[in-house]
Amino acid sequence: MSMLQPSILLLREGTDASQGRAQVVSNINACLAIVDIVKTTLGPRGMDKLIYDDKKATISNDGATIMGLLDIVHPAAKTLVDIARSQDSEVGDGTTSVVVLAGELLKEAKSYIDEGVHPQTIIRAFRKALSFSLSYLETHSISIADKKKEELRKVLVNCARTTLNSKLISGHKDFFAEMAVDAVMALDEDLNMDLIGVKKVPGGSMQDSFLVDGVAFKKTFSYAGFEQQKKKFVNPKILLLNVELELKAERENAEIRLTDPDQYVPIVEAEWEIIYSKLEKCVECGANIVLSRLPIGDLATQYFADRGMFCAGRVPEEDIRRVAKATGGSVQSTVEDIIPTVIGSCDLFEERQVGHERYNIFTGCPVAKTATVILRGGAEQFIEEADRSLHDAIMVVRRAIQHSTIVGGGGAIEMQLSRALKDYSKTIHGKAQLMVASFARALEVIPRQVADNAGFDSTDILNRLRREHSLGTVWYGVDIDKEGIIDTIESFVWEPTLVKKNAIESACEAAALILSVDETVRNPESEQPPDAPVGPPGQRVSQAGMAGLMGGGLRQLKGKGGK
């Protein structure tokens, strides 16, 4: 008679452990529910999402923004948030594409999982398809490295226009594409994005936005005497300081013991002598404009005003750093022995009214390694979305300059890759052939979703695209304007190759990661409270609420912090 084996308790009581094939499918379903939320934002005719919490509402169709604002609690679905953020920080555009593509790869893999294929078999095949795709992109992209400056500028403008085509400000894409290219081309060879400033001023129209070839920042706190200062200088000398030009009240933090009341007067006089000595040295160095990170008080403001000078204290560090870069000046931590080489200059300084704000603007800078965009618009939410859109366009232009290769947009490169992968799959033996072909089918989701979001017959569009690509016409994609197909290279719908390479690579790695997880262990201490809302209209997207979300139709999403 066999003895019963005693049970061994490895995890504390109440711990929930799900494992096996059912867990993999559950994780895939969770990710597909997230994809259903963002996929309608893809393309030039994509819809916007309204995400709100107790503090503010955000309207956006930027994939990274939407994914970041959703409070996703499902551990596997959080992977999609990570790849959207990664795509945004690396290339700035394609954040929705990478999430949609990852979801489609998981959808293709789900059928094999249901049939009992091991996830590692699928992962190996997907990585083989990824390797082929990256090599194909490397050899079939169009180089722009040898183009002259005028031709290069046209290419960059077209790349920026393609990016802005799917944004809320697409009606002004020509205006902002030029602005994005001008901003990037004003930078050094290292193309440091921190040197492009964006200032948002509510009011006016989007066309009232303008680019300053230099630096602009909002007027700082005004002290007495500020209005008497001169507000416009031609060829001024600019002194940048990290010095406080203000009388300090030592009596608040220091103790002085006097034996004779007459000793108090020399102490006060010494304090005034110190501040006047600093101010005289600022005047003697020949500067017309004095900017400081630290406060410039009433006495100094009036002192400079009496001498026809302009000053501004408490200038944000980011702005004073960009002023130094543009004007050729250096920030000084003392006013002693100021030499001419540390003083900056520009062609024109003026204080200009922009909407209801006043801005200090430096233009015609001799070094000009920085630029500032002044964004205008009616609603604050609209300006915020314009800022995100312009950031995407600037990042795309920057990457196009750095990597100097482009491909056709509008789903053209995805269709071409899909055709090449299908041909490649026929050379592979075994189960991997089916999975590489599935990878090829998954790539078609981009043109299909672009057509669907525009209200077109996506089946007809894809059939026509497949036919053209099978005939060898490489760059045919979706024509949004005429509900058909078009040669995207000839119609200037261009994208940097890096955007597509990074999107395909990130989507494949995310799919592989999710497929490789076959067990989820939930610690009871970390479980969400029972009263936490699940699914719409609540903000927490959990495994239990996935089925409700997959019904679609979600347009208003509760963001982080919602009750």
Decide: helix, strand or coil at residue 311: strand
What is the Cα 286 distance to its own chain's centre?
42
Please give the structure tokens belonging to residue 44. 């030039």
Distance, in Å, from the CA atom of 455 to the CA atom of 557, rounded to the nearest integer, reads: 23
**3-class secondary structure, 360:** strand
Active-site entry in 36, 62, 71, 479: 62
- In angstroms, the CA 431 to CA 125 distance is 8
Structure tokens at 53: 């919490």
Strand order of the β-sheet with 494-496 is 142-143, 405-408, 494-496
Between CA 358 and CA 365, with CA 364 as vertex, the angle to 5 degrees is 95
For the chain, the straight-line distance linking the first and the last C-alpha, in angstroms and rounded, comes to 60
Catalytic residue, candidates 36, 93, 319, 392: 392
Catalytic residue among 41, 58, 96, 162: 96
- 114 catalytic? Reply is no
Give the separation between CA 445 and CA 105, rounded to whole angstroms.
Answer: 10
- Which residues lie closer than 8 Å to 169 by C-beta, 6 or more apart? 176, 206, 385, 386, 389, 390
Question: Is 96 labeled as catalytic in the residue annotation?
Answer: yes
**DSSP for 441-477, written as a single string:** HHHTHHHHHHHHHTT--HHHHHHHHHHHHHTT-TTEE
Catalytic, 487? Answer: no
Q: Could you say which of 41, 95, 220, 301 is catalytic?
A: 95
As a whole number of angstroms, the distance between CA 526 and CA 319 comes to 43
Distance of CA 478 to the CA centre of its chain: 26
455: left (phi over 0), alpha (psi -120 to 50) or beta: left
477: alpha, beta or left? (left if phi > 0; alpha if psi -120 to 50): beta
Which residue in 95, 149, 105 sits closest to 125, CA to CA? 105
Active site residues: 62, 95-96, 392
